[in-house]
């Protein structure tokens, strides 16, 4: 699944998928461990 992050709250992210639906997601562990960060 591919989507765009619209909102982040703590460790939860609101993501809009390609079909237009919103999903509550958490970031994958390897991104957290590597310290990858993003900005708006």
pLDDT band, very low/low/confident/very high, at 32 (cuts 50, 70, 90): low
Summarised one tens digit per residue, pLDDT across range 5-20 is 888 888 888 999 999 9
Measured CA to CA, the distance from residue 4 to residue 25 in angstroms comes to 11
Contact call for residues 26 and 36 (beta carbons, < 8 A):
no
The pLDDT, as a whole number, for residue 5 is 85
pLDDT band, very low/low/confident/very high, at 23 (cuts 50, 70, 90): very high
State pTM to two decimals: 0.59
């Amino acid at each position: 699944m591919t989507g765009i992050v619209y909102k982040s709250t703590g460790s939860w992210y609101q993501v809009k998928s390609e079909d237009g639906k919103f999903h509550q997601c958490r970031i994958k562990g390897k991104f957290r461990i590597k310290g990858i960060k993003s900005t708006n």
